[in-house]
Amino acid sequence: MQFNRRGVMLVIASPSGAGKSSITRRLLAEDDNLTMSVSVTTRPMRDGEVDGKDYHFVSLDRYDAMRNEGKLLEWAKVHGNFYGTPAAQVDELIAAGRDVVFDIDYQGTQQLYAKRGSDMVSVFLLPPSIPELQARLRARALDSEETISQRLQNARIEIEHWGEYDYVLVNDDLDETCNAVARILATGRLTRSRQTNLSVFIKGLQAQIDSLQ
């Protein structure tokens, strides 16, 4: 039996290097009902990134205008650059029953909980150890040593917020973590508050009982 439902806003957060991008990519590939929320950012585009796919790369003026016009669902400054989630697309997808995955930091997660808490499920991923996190950041070869040490300092702050997430997983095996996140999403889809026509169905059941008397 299927009910109409609102989509799940699935936040996957972690210190950078703890595997959130790989897990998100895998979930998106395996789940047709899942869409990635594409953020706006003022940070310069990295090699290999695509405007409109990885981020909407915008000027500071454009970003400020979006924020002032209330077009961002949440926003934050991370590693010296500004980021934000455009509201329009997310609201449309959730209302249509599509699930949306977010790669946002703890500041953004707090704002989403304040605004859209009943639509959310959040997962925080931890690395098995800090040397492992360092090794993953180096292996990715995206950043200079200076940026890597900045990211490690940031990891400390991100990890402090572990208690604000619904689920906390240690990502020491990518397959296992992906399976766990897929199960979390599947459970989130079944939550009572998301089944938008459940009350109509229940009224129907009650009417059937009443008609027996």
Q: Looking only at residues 94 through 123 of this chain, which bind ligand 5GP when binding is defined by CB under 6 A?
A: 103-105, 107-108
The site map against ligand 5GP for 20-49 (x = CB under 6 A) is: -------------------x---x------
Side chain identity at residue 166, one-letter code:
D
d(CA 38, CA 24): 13
How many residues touch ligand 5GP under the rule CB under 6 A: the total is 15
The CA–CA distances, whole Å, from 80 to 17, 37, 83, 135, 207 equal 18, 21, 10, 23, 59
Rg (CA), the chain: 19
Q: How far is the CB of 78 from ligand 5GP (least distance, A)?
A: 4
The residue among 139 and 212 lying less far from ligand 5GP, judged by its C-beta, is: 139
Is 16 a binder of ligand 5GP (CB under 6 A)? Answer: yes
Q: Can you read off the two tokens belonging to residue 101? A: 């995955």
Give DSSP secondary structure letters for 6-24. PPPEEEEE-STTSSHHHHH
Q: What angle do CA 154, 25, 124 make, to 5 degrees?
A: 40
d(CA 126, CA 145): 21
d(CA 153, CA 142): 17
Q: How far is the CB of 115 from ligand 5GP (least distance, A)?
A: 13
> Of residues 9, 76, 159, 178, which one binds ligand 5GP by CB under 6 A?
76
Is 85 a binder of ligand 5GP (CB under 6 A)? Answer: yes
Is 84 a binder of ligand 5GP (CB under 6 A)? Answer: yes
Tell me the window of 70-78, 170-178, 187-195, 198-206 that interacts with ligand 5GP (CB under 6 A): 70-78
Using CB under 6 A as the criterion, which residues of the chain lie in contact with ligand 5GP when the complex forms?
16, 39, 43, 74, 76, 78-79, 83-85, 103-105, 107-108
